[in-house]
Structure 1
């Protein structure tokens, strides 16, 4: 009988904690800023969606120093890659490359 009473009291404590947590969450939500309306949402530009540009990039080598001096950050390029002169996309050829264990014959 004592076990039943202990289980009932434990259940009431858990239920009370859940009720308190819900009420606390509602009070916090009431203090938050209101959600933006449909007019305040972002819209597409007048010209439509921005499209991505596909281009072949190649690594931009770090320039050699003059007279053994070290390079400073302002002497480096702003990007680690540059646009390739050859924009022809190299396609995968069957039997020439692939993943390890892909089942192909590999380089012949």
Structure 2
């Protein structure tokens, strides 16, 4: 049977061991941070003026707004994989016939559950 002094001594040794392990981990983390920052500082240089991005010859690129229509999924009894569908380079949609933006119906609340009667 262990005495109280033996238990205290073993717990003290365990505490010292855990403390030493924690100090080793902290020292490794600090060393890796210093190594990484030194590598970044020495390894990368700033781009020269001729390496900077340039504006396209036609001027800045503008946003294009258009209404898109989805492609229909072909009906088949067999399972199809994605590359068997219409043009895997295609985005899966095409420019729509009507280019007006859809608007809310007059008298509609415009939001589900807003408390208004909506259009019935």
Whichever structure has more helix as a proportion of its residues is: 2
One of 67, 74, 82 as aligned partner of 2:84: 74
Provide runs of 4+ in structure 1 moved above 3 Å: 19-26, 68-72, 100-105
CA, structure 1 residues 102+20, in 2 after alignment: closer, same or farther (shift >3 Å)?
same
- What secondary structure sits across from 2:103 in the alignment? coil
Bigger radius of gyration, 1 or 2? Answer: 2
For structure 1, which runs of at least 5 residues remain unmatched after alignment?
1-12
Residues matched between the structures, number: 96
* 1:58 and 2:69 correspond: yes
| 2:40 matched residue in structure 1 | 29
Kindly indicate whether the alpha-carbon contact (under 8 Å) linking 1:59 and 1:82 is maintained by their aligned counterparts in 2: yes
For structure 2, which runs of at least 5 residues remain unmatched after alignment?
1-22
